[in-house]
């Protein structure tokens, strides 16, 4: 019966569609038919099970694989729909008189339409399908990380990117099976993907056919992969023997350059010898500490010892010297001749330094780290590190280790899992790469007015200010707002120059001298006025800054609040001058230039003696 069912499934597979997968397809020029010479698929490599079990026994394999797997398993996965949803329809108020005029058939039709829309929406939610307004963006689905994020940012600004907050895929990741959660599933998948180049998920579907769970299958449990003649995975472990259709398994596969159509190629195969050498060194150390049941000294007897005595001697040696707690204990025997040198035998043991043990283990450790691409600073190895390398370690790890592996996994889930829900869905994740803080600060310094106060506080690690106090921009006075750099009319202009003073006449020179005399008195009075002004309490500051090269504005796009530096300076100078000038000085400033004939001459008088200045 099973063989008939398998044969029937093969015929149905070939006749139904050749839609996805390997089944039923020979490839161009029959390449797959020539590669798979038999109906059976490829078996796992011989060391697959040993490498997966090495995660539990090999320290450095565990350290690196665990850190990489945990980082990839902690990625924040998100679903998006591309399109612009329609505006919600306003509720229609139906008068009672209109309802009374409807017939039973009309009411049944209206109720049926409402119920039909509700049921259709519920079916879409159960199957994980999007609303009809959503579109499929193939560019976003297939683009690598950096170009995809730029494209999604453009869609977001245009209002065409909508995040899907609730979906069966989220539930399937959070609770994939009763034995693990999202982090455990993704971490286990990444570890197997890295070590042996293969990882497998078994889909758990609901009644509508949508995946609601994923069960990870160890790579060595899958004994055969699909072929053109057999579109099934053969699973075999203990009492579980099953032929699983190709559509029910998600195969995370890292192709091997030597045989891209066979099983995957992982880091573990490349590190096979180094991992075994490190393991043997650890076992050798264990044996040295265990003493190998050999004493350090033996005092031998004479010749003629019988076989029975040798067996008794062997048992005696094991009882006396086996175990590290009996180490360095000598053993004394009778006989051995007259020569004392022949009666004393010493077992020379090589030391750790003679075996090059410490350096050899460090070498194997460095090979493991470098093959994985993990910075040694993340594992506490700072022998050849400085402050710069320590700070850059996390950036290099997330940029060149975590990000490529997360993208590799995203591509497979996008192609093998999301079409079971809706092929318009878009899978993405938050970038694990930490921003370059130094580059970000340099960009902000180049144009500090482009960020408001709350954004600057956020960059410094502080929270926003209360209310709208932080929604202001710090704009320099020597800058201006324009939408066209070539438009000269939008540029600020200097204040008009003051009119030139008239040419003084001889009589005007005398008047100017009198004005200077009065100006001396004015300066004395202005000194007192300025001292009074200086003793006043300072007014409340209008903003949070006292930098005279900037001003505070709520909207940098509003030209009315831009400050003209020249006119502001003139106004300040004029107000200060008006405050300190005396009436006599103002009268002098108002004197017009006249001719000598129009002004009568005044008698000359002796100048007043200089007054003593008051002591401070």
Q: Kindly state the tokens that stand for 252.
A: 């995370």
**Of 252-266, 318-332, 564-578, which gets the smallest average pLDDT?**
564-578
Statement: the pTM of the whole predicted model exceeds 0.85: no
Q: Range with the lowest mean pLDDT among 343-347, 428-432, 457-461?
A: 343-347
Domains of the chain: which residue ranges?
78-86+96-169, 295-346, 435-481+506-511+544-596
Position 464 pLDDT exceeds 90: no
**Mean pLDDT (whole number) for 289-315:** 66
Burial class of residue 338 (count of CB atoms within 10 Å of its CB; 0-12, 13-18, 19+) = exposed
- Residue whose pair of structure tokens reads 């002591």 in the numeric block: 615
What mean pLDDT do residues 207-223 have?
Answer: 94
Per-residue pLDDT band for 282 (boundaries 50, 70, 90) equals confident
Q: Is residue 560 very low, low, confident or very high in pLDDT (cuts 50, 70, 90)?
A: low
The mean pLDDT of 101-128, rounded to a whole number, is: 77
Return the sign of the alpha-carbon dihedral for residues 386, 389, 391, 393: negative
Pair of tokens at residue 594: 């006249």
- Look at residues 258, 216, 223 and name the one whose alpha carbon lies nearest to residue 45: 223
**Span 293-303, average pLDDT:** 57
- What does the DSSP 8-state code read for residue 452? B
Give the number of other Cβ atoms within 10 Å of residue 200's Cβ: 23
For 24-55, b where at least 16 C-beta lie within 10 A, e where not — what string?
bebeeeeebeebbeeeebbebbebbebbbebb
pLDDT confidence bin for 427, thresholds 50/70/90 = very high
d(CA 99, CA 84): 35
Pairing of strands 211-217, 198-205: antiparallel
pLDDT at 267: 93
User: For residue 168, is pLDDT > 90?
Assistant: yes
Strand partners, 251: 200
């Amino acid at each position: 019966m099973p063989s008939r069912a398998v044969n029937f499934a093969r015929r149905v597979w070939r006749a139904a569609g050749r839609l996805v997968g390997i089944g039923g397809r020979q490839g161009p020029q029959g390449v797959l038919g020539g590669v798979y010479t038999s109906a059976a698929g490829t078996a796992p490599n011989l060391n697959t099970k040993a490498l997966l079990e090495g995660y539990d026994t090999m320290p450095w394999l565990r350290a690196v694989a665990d850190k990489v797997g945990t980082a990839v398993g902690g990625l924040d996965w998100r679903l998006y729909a591309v399109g612009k949803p329609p505006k919600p329809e306003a509720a229609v108020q139906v008068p009672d008189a209109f309802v009374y005029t409807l017939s039973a058939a009309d009411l049944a039709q209206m109720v049926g339409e409402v119920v039909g829309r509700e049921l259709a929406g519920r079916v879409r939610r159960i199957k994980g399908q999007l609303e009809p307004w959503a579109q499929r963006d193939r560019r976003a689905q297939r683009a690598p990380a950096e170009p995809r994020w730029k494209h999604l940012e453009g869609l977001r600004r245009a209002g065409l990117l909508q995040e899907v907050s609730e979906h069966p895929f989220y539930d399937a990741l959070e609770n994939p099976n009763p034995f693990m959660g999202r982090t455990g599933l993704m971490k286990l998948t990444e570890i197997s993907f890295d070590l042996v180049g293969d990882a497998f998920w078994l889909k758990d579907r609901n009644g509508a056919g949508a995946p609601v769970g994923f069960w990870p299958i160890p790579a060595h449990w899958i004994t055969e992969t699909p072929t053109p003649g057999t579109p099934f995975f053969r699973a075999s472990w203990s009492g579980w023997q099953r032929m699983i259709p190709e559509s029910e398994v998600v195969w995370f596969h890292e192709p091997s350059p030597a045989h891209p159509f066979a099983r995957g190629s992982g880091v573990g195969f490349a590190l096979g010898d180094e991992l075994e050498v490190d393991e043997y060194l650890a076992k050798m150390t264990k044996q040295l500490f265990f003493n190998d049941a050999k004493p350090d000294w033996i005092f031998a007897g004479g010749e003629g010892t019988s076989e029975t005595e040798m067996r008794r001697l062997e048992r005696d040696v094991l009882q006396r010297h086996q175990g590290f707690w009996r180490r360095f204990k000598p053993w004394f025997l009778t006989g051995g001749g007259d020569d004392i040198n022949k009666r004393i035998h010493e077992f020379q043991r090589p030391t750790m330094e003679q075996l090059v043990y410490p350096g050899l283990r460090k070498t194997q450790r460095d090979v493991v780290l470098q093959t994985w691409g993990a910075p040694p600073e993340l594992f506490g190895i700072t022998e050849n590190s400085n402050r710069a390398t320590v700070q850059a370690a996390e950036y290099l790890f997330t940029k060149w280790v975590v990000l490529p592996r997360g993208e590799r996994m995203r591509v497979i889930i996008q192609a093998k899992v999301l079409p079971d829900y809706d092929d318009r869905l878009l899978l993405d994740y938050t970038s694990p790469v930490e921003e370059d803080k130094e580059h970000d600060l340099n960009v902000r310094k180049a144009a500090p007015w482009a960020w408001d106060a709350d954004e600057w506080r956020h960059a410094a690690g502080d929270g926003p200010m209360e209310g709208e106090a932080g929604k202001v921009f710090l704009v320099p006075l020597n800058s201006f707002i324009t939408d066209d750099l070539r438009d000269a009319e939008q540029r600020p202009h200097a204040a008009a120059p003051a009119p030139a003073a008239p040419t003084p006449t001889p009589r005007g020179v005398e008047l100017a001298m009198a004005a200077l005399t009065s100006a001396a008195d004015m300066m004395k009075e202005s000194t007192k006025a300025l001292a009074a002004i200086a003793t006043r309490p300072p007014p409340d500051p209008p903003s949070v800054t006292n930098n005279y090269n900037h001003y505070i504005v709520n909207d940098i796009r509003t030209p009315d609040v831009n400050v003209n530096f020249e006119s502001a300076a003139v106004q300040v100078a004029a107000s200060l001058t008006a405050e300190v000038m005396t009436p006599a000085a103002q009268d002098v400033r108002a004197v017009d230039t006249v001719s000598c004939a129009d002004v009568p001459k005044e008698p000359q008088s002796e100048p007043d003696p200089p007054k003593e200045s008051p002591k401070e």
